[in-house]
Structure 1
């Protein structure tokens, strides 16, 4: 991906989101575009307008951490946005490869037996994915919960983004589809900042941009996010709605992979639904198998 274009669009979209009132600045004169002017951001960050304009043209190479921090404060970036800005700067310096350990495993990625054993110990759904939103490993209930995802394109490893934007069934699986779509694209955009040279991610973004107007619009917003914990609603064809809480953690032993555990509130209707789903899964589905995936990180 073009680092200069990514940096330019990210800074411009963040600037457009901040009003003078939010920045504590007087509001006067007609504004042709929403948000702050370049000069206002420069003033808030303590740099010259010429210097900030250079940054917004994509010239992040060699920018110090203190300047990046000042820009982040001026634009009121959240933690995920600030990290994304730093990733873009490191990529411009050519140092992004050293920021995050990477492994290039064999073409068929197989979960370690100990990892699969750990997943299978959880009585609630548990999954492992990478930053491209490929679903790489599951426990039995995770497989049952995501049965529609596996069925959507059995010729290749399941991918949440491809399912969300190219399979109409996703709108039933995600009752709050717009929110799910926003989160999905923000995760992909975050991953693109971490590793702009991921060719498989570039191919995925190109495919989705060509085939989905919904994806293309969201991708152009340059929103990013961390996906740590929260609550989601799913609809399963067999057991109905599932109101699940999730906790996601980065896997130290497998850089680039994220383990997500889902849990229902005890004694809730969802807890009962998960019991039914476990019974259905045991009857209908085979044991989980390793995903045939070319690379889990790049």
Structure 2
């Protein structure tokens, strides 16, 4: 990850999104590129044009918090974008300090998940690996767990553990598995969110080799991913509603609450619910019944289960 390129591309992409009118400026004649000019951002941030030009070229080491906040205000960054700018500045100033990739969860976290019996719940890392789930969570994400997209071979010279099975990965399923668009009915919106989350994680943990490998694989194999990655959009993912089409249950529209696990840096817990007396609430009950069949090897599962209409 080239920090100067990341900083430059991020700031240029944010500058292009702000019109002079949005910034309270006069149009200023014909413009070769959309958005604000560098000198206009400099004026709005209260710094010299030369100084802002250096910043946009990636010279961010040692820049004060006050100046970064001023640039964030000038570019009208939202909370996720502001946090991403500070992450990029922090990474540029500290150099390589890779966070150890998290590949499994503590037993206590799994017990917590198992105690949630009425709502699907999962724990993932910033790479979108599904590291743990309760019974309903595993049943809901069954297509992802059953994805036939093979994991890539380890990079030459890297350490690998032949006994370790790569975890199911939401991003790889979404962009590389033909079943992805069917499972995510609003595929475009869902894909935008996934890429924005990966971009946010890359800013937080730029030296994570597992994350870098995933981004490289998806950029190579998916035009849709590559186009979205180039937009430099980032996102904080806390709450919302998401649609799914489960191959055995049918349509689900679920509210989710998502939170980072501060005792386990890098892990995120997401719990899904449906409002009472709604079709999705009834569908979750059907999902619970179907999940029980997954525990019984003599029962049909997956594509052998007739989808509920």
**Paired position in structure 1 for 2:257:** 247
Match of residue 124, structure 2, among 111, 126, 129: 129
The 1:164–1:93 alpha-carbon spacing in structure 2 relative to 1, beyond 3 Å, is same
The residue matched to 1:124 in structure 2 has which SS? coil
| Offset at residue 184 of structure 1 (A) | 0.2
1:202 aligns with 2:197: no
Aligned to 1:212: 222
Instruction: Please give the alpha-carbon distance, in whole angstroms, between the structure 2 residues aligned to 1:61 and 1:284.
Output: 53
* Aligned positions, number: 281
Instruction: Note the residue ranges of structure 2 that are not aligned, 5 or more in a row.
Output: 151-164, 298-309
Distance in 1, matches of 2:101 and 2:259, equals: 21
1:6-155 mapped onto 2 (5 Å cutoff): 6-94=6-94, 97=97, 102-103=99-100, 109-122=103-116, 123-153=118-148
What CA distance in whole angstroms lies between the structure 1 residues aligned with 2:194 and 2:5? Answer: 21
**Contact preservation (8 Å) 1:132, 1:188:** yes
Cα contact 2:101–2:208 (8 A) shared by 1: no
**How big is the shift at 1:111?**
2.9
Provide structure 1 residue ranges, at least 5 long, that are not aligned to the other structure: 288-298
Say whether the 8 Å CA contact 1:39–1:49 is kept in structure 2: yes
What RMSD, in angstroms, separates the aligned Cα atoms of the two structures? 1.7
Measured after TM superposition, the shift of residue 112 of structure 1 is 2.5
Q: Is the 8 A contact 1:103 1:255 kept in 2?
A: no
Whether the 8 Å contact between 2:120 and 2:271 is mirrored in structure 1 is yes
Q: Deviations over 1:203-241 (max 9, x none)?
A: 111100000000000000000000000000101011111
The 3-state SS of whatever aligns with 1:114 is: helix
Q: Find the residue that maps to 1:142 and give its secondary structure.
A: helix
Structure having greater relative contact order (Cα 8 Å, sep ≥ 6): 1
Distance in structure 2 (CA, Å) of the matches to 1:95 and 1:103: 15
After superposition, what is the alpha-carbon deviation per residue over 1:251-289, rounded to whole angstroms, capped at 9, x for unaligned? 1221010000000101211111111111111112479xx
Question: Deviations along 1:116-141, whole A, 9 cap, x unmatched?
Answer: 12111211100000001111000000
Please report the TM-score for the alignment, with normalisation by the length of structure 2: 0.88
Aligned structure 1 segments of 4 or more residues deviating by more than 6 angstroms: none
CA distance in 2, matches of 1:152, 1:187: 21
The alpha carbon displacement at 1:33 in A equals 0.4
Q: Which moved more, 1:13-22 or 1:265-274?
A: 265-274
Distance 1:244 1:96 in 2: 39
1:57 Cα deviation (Å)? 0.5
Structure 2 Cα separation of the partners of residues 75 and 228 of structure 1? 23
- TM-score if structure 1 supplies the norm length? 0.91
The residue correspondences of 1:166-245 to structure 2 (distance < 5 A) are 166-245=176-255
* Partner-residue secondary structure (3-state), 1:54: helix
The answer to whether the Cα contact below 8 Å between 1:190 and 1:225 also exists between their aligned partners in 2 is yes
Specify the alignment match of 2:301 in structure 1: none
